[in-house]
Amino acid sequence: MFDISLYLKDKKAEVENVLFKQLPSAPDCPELLSEAIAHAVKSGGKRLRPILCLAAAEATGGRWKDALLPACAVEILHTYTLVHDDLPCMDNDLLRRGVPTVHARYGEALAVLTGDALLTLAFEILTQTPLEGTITTRLVSELCKASGATGVIGGQVKDILLAGKPSPEVIHYVFEHKTADLFRAALRMGSIAAEASDEAVESLSAYGGHLGFAFQIIDDILDADQATEDEKPELSCLAIMSLTDARIWASEHTRMATKALENLVGDTTPLKAMADMMLERII
């Protein structure tokens, strides 16, 4: 019988093993910068997006090992967004996963530059795959589109500008771009690295988009339980719907995510289990 906990633990170790080797060190770069980069990357995290990237390769009948570097690129990209989102001019968070954020420990200037270095590193990692040049170019293109002005950054801009004015349109835009775009990219990149068919890439892309929505809705539900009065308002789907409706919405996206896996030729057990597990967080 398939054990999702064991799968996640195993794949997290495989990802971190490669991930930590990609980080720059002194004297190639300033000591303090390499420290700040390592602090950002090694401060925990479930490594959900890179594991999805590996599972996508398997779901198309490919080898998960072929997706290891793209998986690391996605995780590094995700880490940069956290470092910049935590900045005083954004969310001004001093702690993340129980440890000081990069700007809290190393100062604001170094935090901006650490995020910049991670963003650049994500693309550098992609150039190191032994894949064909056209596939590498496609991976770079996918990550750029998902994370740029029309993707994650666009989502973050709307989040900042409109956190105080939630509407169904705003919630949809922010969930779509700030969260779902990178989930989608993780799945697309894993399947592209495994040289999957265009149909398979699109199926996994649909899975990723729905899983991203489910993830964000559930995040809002869990945040609502922990919210304290003095926190500044954050954009939440609970501003426009009841807790019950949010739960139904999340389960609907999870169902659609699983449905998108139907025609794939590889092993989709891990992806199905991850969708189920995500929903169990709120039930």
Residue numbers at the binding site for a second copy (CB under 8 A)? 24, 28-30, 32-34, 37, 80, 84, 87, 89-90, 107-110, 112-113, 115-117, 119-121, 123-124, 126-127, 132-138, 140-141, 144-145, 147-150, 153-154, 156-158, 160-161
Q: What whole-number distance in Å separates Cα of residue 232 and Cα of residue 223?
A: 13
Q: Per the omega criterion (within 30 degrees of 0), is the bond before 27 cis?
A: yes
Nearer to a second copy among residue 127 and residue 265 (C-beta): 127
Q: Report which residue type is found at 61.
A: G
Identify which of residues 26 and 224 has a Cβ nearer to a second copy in the complex: 26
Q: List, as one string, the DSSP characters of 183-244.
A: HHHHHHHHHHHTT--HHHHHHHHHHHHHHHHHHHHHHHHHHHHH--TTSPP---GGGTS-HH
* Nearest residue (CB) to a second copy, 205 versus 254: 205
What one-character DSSP code corresponds to residue 148?
A: S
- Phi-psi category of 242—alpha, beta or left, where left has phi over 0 and alpha has psi -120 to 50? beta
Burial category of 257 from C-beta neighbours within 10 Å (exposed 0-12, middle 13-18, buried 19 and up): buried
**Nearest residue (CB) to a second copy, 1 versus 109:** 109
Compare residues 15 and 174 and give the one whose CB is closer to a second copy: 174
Q: Both tokens of residue 272? A: 């199905």
Task: Please name the amino acid found at residue 260.
Answer: A
Q: How far is the CB of 144 from a second copy (least distance, A)?
A: 4
DSSP percent split of the chain into helix, strand, coil, nearest 5: 70, 0, 25
| Least distance in angstroms from the C-beta of 135 to a second copy | 7
How near is the Cβ of 34 to a second copy at its closest, in Å? 7
- Least Å distance, CB 108 to a second copy, is 4
Question: What is the C-alpha to C-alpha distance for residues 254 and 237, in angstroms, rounded to an integer?
Answer: 16
State which residue, 137 or 167, has the beta carbon closest to a second copy.
Answer: 137
User: Which residues have CB under 8 Å from 198's CB, separation 6+?
Assistant: none
CB of 88 to a second copy, least distance (A): 8
* Closer residue to a second copy in complex, CB, 44/148: 148
**Smallest gap, in angstroms, from Cβ of residue 118 to a second copy?**
9
Q: In angstroms, what is the minimal distance from the CB of 198 to a second copy? A: 17
